[in-house]
Amino acid sequence: MPYFLFKMFPSREVEVIERHDNYRDARARARLLRQELTVSDNYQIKIIHAFNEKAGEKLLTTEREPIPWGDD
């Protein structure tokens, strides 16, 4: 499965940037892109390991139920 780099906006919209077959390459590229972000940029850089772009988008945009804390 490939690694996808996404721009994630505050409105929960996502935009695919790149695809990498190797995690190290994806991580290095994400770090570089994060360093280049400015204060005026209104998005985050995310890495997702998914079968395809659509699956990655779904993973990023799906609300997850919070993990309960305390006694079960």
Q: What is the pLDDT of residue 67?
A: 84
Residue ranges of alpha helices (H) inside the chain are: 23-35, 53-61
- Residue range 4-59, pLDDT digits in tens: 999 999 998 999 999 999 999 999 999 999 999 998 999 999 999 999 999 999 99
3-state DSSP percent of the chain in helix, strand and coil, to 5: 30, 25, 45
Give the global pTM: 0.83
51 lies in which domain range?
3-61
Q: How many CB atoms lie within 10 A of CB 26?
A: 20
- Partners of 14 in beta bridges: 8
Give the count of domains, the chain. 1
67 found inside a domain: no
Tell me whether residue 16 is in a domain: yes
For residue 66, being part of any structural domain is answered with no
